[in-house]
Structure 1
Amino acid sequence: MIKRTVVAGAISRLGVGPTLVVAFLLLAGIGVTRAGASFDLGVAAGEVTSTSARLWAHSSASGPVMVDVSTNPNFLGTLVSVAGMADSANDNTVQVDVTGLTPDRVHYYRFTMGAEQSRVGSFRAAPDPEHRRTIQFGLTGDADAQPDPMTMMPAFNNFEVYSAMVAEHNFFNINLGDTIYSDSEVPGTPVALSVADKWAKYVQNLSLAPLPDIRSAAGSYSQPDDHEWINDFSVPEFGVTLYNDGVKAFTDYAPVSYSATSGFYRHFRWGKNLELFIPDERSFRDAKASEGGTCDNPSGSGNPDLAPTAPQSNRNMFAALAPSLGTPPPQACLDRINDPGRTLLGTAQLAQLKADLLASTAVWKVIVNEVPIQQFYALPYDRWEGYAAERLDLINFLISNVPNAVFLTTDTHANMVNDVRLQTLEPGGPINSGIMEFITGPVATGTFDKEIDNVFGTSGGGELVNLFFLKKAPPDGPGLICSALDTYSFAEVRVSKSKFRLQLLDANRHFVVDPSGPCRTFRLRAS
C-alpha cells in the first residue's frame, strides 16, 4: 500500500489527472483499489442506425446499471430505460443495445448505478434510408497517450485533434484504427500483450479529456487496425492467442459489433445519400510478403527492402540515403507481393463486401479503410500494395460496378490524397481509376515525416522524400495531390445528393499544408 500511495502522490504533483494516475499504476503493475462507484471514463454511443445504438460506459465498481435514453436533454418523457451490468470480467465496462429510436433525431443518454450518475451523452440516430439529408462527419485515427518517461506528461500531445472535431458538431465521428498503441513508439515502454495490459492502455487514452469528450458529443464508429494487437499484426504471424486478447480488450472498450465469422466488418446507412462500409483488414489477412525474410535486402539482414515495387530508376534517387535501394529487391519478394492466392480481406469477407456494395442504393459509398490503397511504394508490405492482386481485383470491381465510391483512410500518420490508380510508375505509365482516397491523421503518435527520418537515420529525410518523390508527377513519383507528412489532423466530410466535400484540418481547424501550400477543400460530384 505504501508503494502505491507514494507513486500516485508523485505523479499527482506533476499535475496529471487522477484517471491518468490509475492508468500509470496499472501499466506499472501496481494494484489500485477504487473506493465507491463512479463513471470515470465518460460514455459513448456506437453502431448507430436509424432506430438503434449500442451505449457504453465504464464504472469504477461492478454491479447493475440503468441507462436512460430520451429525445429531451432533461430526460422529460424518457424514451427507454434499459438494464445493464458492469462486470469485472469486462474491466467493469458496460454496454447496452437500445432500439426503437427516432430516425434523424438527437437522443440523450445517461448511466446510473445507485446514487451515481454518468455525464450525459448525445448522438443523432441516422436518417431513414429513403430520407434525403446532408450528412456531416469527421474521421481520424492513430492515438497514443503514453507519457514521456521523464515528465510523465503525454509524449506526443493532449489529443487536441479530438477537441477540434467536437467543435465541428458532426452527426457522427469515426475513430479509425490504432485506438491504442500496445507497442508505443515512446522509448522504454513495455509492450501490452495481455488483456489486462491492453485494458490499461484504453484507460490511459481515455484519461485525456478530449477522447471522452468526443465519444459523448456524438455517435462514433470505432475500428481497430494493428496496434490494438501489435505493429503489422496478422494471425499467421502473431497467433490466435494475441488476436483473441486484442479482440477482447477492444470490444470491452469500444461499443462495436464483432463475430468470429465476420470479424469487425459492418456497414451503416445514413439516409439516401450515404452508406459507410467498414471492412476488417486484420482478422482474415495472410502474412505480409516480407515474413520469413523473403524481402530482406541485403539477403539475411532482417531488413525488408524499403520500396520493392518501385522502378529501379526511382530507387536509385535515394540510394545515397539508403544504400540498399541501389540493389534490386529479391524476385521472390515481388512474386509474393503479386501472388493472386494471397488475401488481405479473406475470400468470404471480400465477397460480402462486394455484394453489399452492389446492393447499396446510397449515392455515396464510403469505404472506411484501415490501411491505404493508393500507391506510394515505400514499405508496402502491411497495406493494400503488399497484396497487389487483391488490390487490383477490388479496384476493378469498383470501377465496373460501384459509382461514387470513396476511400477514407488513416494508418500512415500523414495526410495524403490521390487517385486510387491501377498503376502509377509501372511500364505504360499511370492508369487512373477515377476513385479517390483521402488519408488523414494521426491524433497523437510519430508522424510519417519523423518515421522516414528514423529509417534514413537523418533529420530532413521525410522532407526530401516528400519533395523529390511523393509530390513529383510520374514517372518521377506518384504525384500526390496533397502530401502533408508532419501534421496532427482529421478529415471533415460533408455529403449531399450531388456533392462530396472533404477538408483535411489540423488541431486548430486550419487546412493542413504540404510543400505546395494549403490542401484546400476537395470536392467530388456524383455521377
Structure 2
Amino acid sequence: MQKANRRGFFKKTGIGLLSLMAIPKIVAHPINKLLDLVSRSNTGVYFTNGFKIAEVGKESAMLWTRLCGQEFPQPVRHRREEKVFRHPIDFDEEQPVSEMDGAVSGAAGLVRVTINEGNGQSVWTSEWKEAVAENDFTVKIPVKGLQPGSEYSVHWEAKPVDGGSIRKVEGAFATAPSEQDPVPLVLTTSTCQYFWSFDDERRGFQTYDSMRRLHPDFFIHTGDYIYYDKPGPLAKNLEKARHKWHAMDGWLSLRDFYKEVPIYMVKDDHDLLKDDMYRGKGPYGDLTFDDGLKLWYENVPIKGKPYRTVRWGKDLQVWLVEGREYRSENTMEDGPGKTIWGAEQKQWFQETVKASDATFKILFTATPVVGPDRERKSDNHANTSFQHEGEWLRNFLSSQRNMYVVNGDRHWQYVSQDRETGLMEFGSGPVSDYHSQGWKEGDVRPEHRFLRLKGGFLSIGVDRDPGKPQILFEHRDVLGKVVHEERFEG
C-alpha cells in the first residue's frame, strides 16, 4: 500500500501552533504515589518501557522492546535544584535501584510481532522470542521483505514464560521510498537528555510531544540519550547503568512518540561511559568501556556497523557516523594519524557520499564539525586537538553539492557557516530548556547565522515546490514553535 502524501510541508510552515500550545497538564505527585501502589499490585509482563521501530529502510526494519515486571515506573519523588540540569536534592545513591525514581523492573517472558499492511492484511509474524535477564529482558526482532514507500502497523504480544494472559500494544510506521521517488518528507532531530532535566512531571519532555504533532517520517537522536555520569544515580555499576535506560524509556512522551515515529540513534560520550570518552581513558566506577558498548547495543535497535547511511526517496540521503569506538586518545598530539572516525569509516564515508545521487545530503554527527566550540574542549572536529582531520572533513564536505552537517552534543541551538569553506552546520540544541548551558548569552561569533541558548529540536523538510527540490531547516522551541529557519534550493 503506497504511503499517502500527508503534508504539503512548505505551505504549512508554523503548522499547528494552536495544538502545540495544548501542553499536557502536570500531574501532582500524589497521583504518582497511587500509580506506584497499582504497579506493585500487578502481575504479569508489561511494555512499560515501550518499543522502538528503528533502522527503517526500503524493505526492512529493526524492532526493539523490553519486557517489564511492573505496569508503571516508580514515581518521581525528589525535588530538584533550581539550576542547570536540575540535579535531584538529597538523592540517596545507595538506596535499592528498584526504589529509585523512574525505576522499572524487568521480567522474563516471550515476545512476538505481527506486521500488517495498511489495509489490515498480515504480511509477517515472528517466532516467539525469549526475554532473558542476561540481556536485561530486551528483545530485538529484525523484519525483512517489506515494500518501499508503504505503511505498516506493528502488533506486539507478550506473555510470561510459564503462560498466562497475553499483553498487547500497537504502533505504525512507513518504509523509505525508492531512490527514484521524489516524495516530500519531514524528519526531526534532537540531542542531550538527562532524566532529571524533564520539563513535564507527568510525560517527561515536551519536545517529544511537540515533535509527534509534526508527524515526522523519522527521528534521529544524535547522542547523550542518557547520562551515566550525572547524579540520580551516578551509574558506576551495571545495575545503575541499566536503570538509566529504564527510567528514560519509561517517560510517556517518549513511549507515545516511538509508537509512530521510526528512530535512528547515534551514541556519544555520556551514553557510552563518561565525559569526553575514548578507549583507554579508564573506567567509570566498575563500568569499563566494553561494558558501555554492551549496554549501548543492548538498548539500541541496530545491527552491524554503528556507522550507516539511509536513503529516503530521490531527494535525501543521510549519513550517521560513529565518533567513540574508533577514535584516538583526545590527549594525543594532533597530526595525520590522529582520528575520531578511524581509517575504515573515513574510506566508507567518502565512497558512499561520492556514489550518492541524492539531491540533498546530510551528515549527522554526535559532535560539531564547524562549531564554534569552547576553547577548553578537545574531543571534536571543531577543536584544535583534532584540527588536521577537521580540516580534511570540512574541505571534503564543502566540495559536495547540497551537503550539510547536523550535530548533537552542544547544549544550545545554532546555525554556523565555516568561514574558510562555507560549510553549513545546524546544532539542534538539547531536549529541554533545563539542559541548556555552556555558551554565553550574546556571544555571537562571525560563524554564527543563528544562536539561541534554549532547548527544543530541529525539524528538516524536503519537498518540491513546484518541481524544484527544496530543503528547509527549522529550529523549534520545546513547544514546537519555529524560532529560526534556513531554506535552500537543490
Give the structure-1-normalised TM-score.
0.72
Residues 1:170 and 1:211: Cα distance change in structure 2 (over 3 Å): same
Output aligned runs, 1:407-422, within 5 Å: 407-419=405-417, 421=418
Residues 1:19 and 1:380: Cα distance change in structure 2 (over 3 Å): farther
Residues 1:16 and 1:127: Cα distance change in structure 2 (over 3 Å): farther
Residues 1:193 and 1:18: Cα distance change in structure 2 (over 3 Å): farther
Match status 1:194 vs 2:237: yes
Structure 1 residue 18: Cα displacement:
5.1
Where 2:32 maps in the other structure, the secondary structure is: coil
Match status 1:339 vs 2:382: no
Aligned to 1:111: 156
Aligned to 2:367: 371
1:412-443 deviation digits (Å, cap 9, x = unpaired)? 01101011x2xxxxxxxx42x23211001211
Report which of the two has the higher share of helix.
1
Q: Which moved more, 1:366-375 or 1:377-386?
A: 377-386
Structure 1 residue 511: Cα displacement:
2.4
Contact 1:145 1:155 (8 Å CA) reproduced: no
Structure 1 residue 273: Cα displacement:
0.9
Structure 1 residue 12: Cα displacement:
7.0
Structure 1 residue 505: Cα displacement:
0.4
Structure 1 residue 146: Cα displacement:
3.0
Aligned to 2:124: 80
Contact 1:146 1:155 (8 Å CA) reproduced: no
Aligned to 1:505: 476
Aligned to 1:459: none
Output aligned runs, 1:382-397, within 5 Å: 382-386=379-383, 387-397=386-396
Distance 1:95 1:416 in 2: 35
Partner amino acid, structure 1, of 2:224: D
Aligned to 1:122: 172
Distance 2:30 2:411 in 1: 33
Contact 1:49 1:125 (8 Å CA) reproduced: yes
Q: Which runs of 5+ in 1 are unaligned?
A: 1-10, 23-31, 292-335, 422-429, 453-461, 472-476, 513-518
Partner amino acid, structure 2, of 1:162: Y
Output aligned runs, 1:40-439, within 5 Å: 40-60=48-68, 61-72=107-118, 76-83=120-127, 84-114=129-159, 115-146=165-196, 158-184=204-230, 188-228=231-271, 229-238=273-282, 242-258=288-304, 262=305, 264-289=306-331, 336=333, 338-378=334-374, 379-386=376-383, 387-400=386-399, 402-419=400-417, 421=418, 430-431=419-420, 433-439=421-427
Contact 1:160 1:507 (8 Å CA) reproduced: yes
Aligned to 2:446: 478
Q: Which has the larger radius of gyration?
A: 1
Q: Which runs of 5+ in 2 are unaligned?
A: 1-27, 69-106, 160-164
Structure 1 residue 394: Cα displacement:
1.3
Distance 1:155 1:236 in 2: 39
Distance 1:384 1:219 in 2: 29
Output aligned runs, 1:452-471, within 5 Å: 452=439, 462-463=440-441, 467=442, 469=443, 471=444
Distance 2:294 2:394 in 1: 33
Contact 1:281 1:370 (8 Å CA) reproduced: yes
Structure 1 residue 445: Cα displacement:
7.4
Distance 1:385 1:137 in 2: 25
Structure 1 residue 110: Cα displacement:
1.8
Where 1:79 maps in the other structure, the secondary structure is: strand
Aligned with 1:489 (options 456, 462, 465): 456
Aligned to 1:15: 32
1:78-116 deviation digits (Å, cap 9, x = unpaired)? 111012221221111111001111211121112112432
Where 2:234 maps in the other structure, the secondary structure is: coil
Aligned to 1:308: none
Residues 1:481 and 1:46: Cα distance change in structure 2 (over 3 Å): same
Partner amino acid, structure 1, of 2:137: N
Aligned to 2:428: 440
1:373-403 deviation digits (Å, cap 9, x = unpaired)? 1132413312212311001111212233x21
Which structure has the higher relative contact order (CA within 8 Å, separation 6+)?
2
Aligned to 1:524: 488
Contact 1:177 1:410 (8 Å CA) reproduced: yes
Where 2:311 maps in the other structure, the secondary structure is: strand
Where 2:246 maps in the other structure, the secondary structure is: helix
Aligned length: 409
Where 2:487 maps in the other structure, the secondary structure is: strand
1:270-316 deviation digits (Å, cap 9, x = unpaired)? 11111110010111111223x8xxxxxxxxxxxxxxxxxxxxxxxxx
Where 1:146 maps in the other structure, the secondary structure is: helix
Contact 2:328 2:339 (8 Å CA) reproduced: yes
Distance 1:81 1:87 in 2: 21
Where 2:288 maps in the other structure, the secondary structure is: helix
Contact 1:140 1:489 (8 Å CA) reproduced: yes
Structure 1 residue 237: Cα displacement:
1.3
Structure 1 residue 371: Cα displacement:
0.4
Residues 1:86 and 1:377: Cα distance change in structure 2 (over 3 Å): closer
Structure 1 residue 14: Cα displacement:
6.6
Where 1:118 maps in the other structure, the secondary structure is: strand
Distance 1:200 1:20 in 2: 20
Distance 1:396 1:237 in 2: 30
Q: Which moved more, 1:156-165 or 1:245-254?
A: 156-165
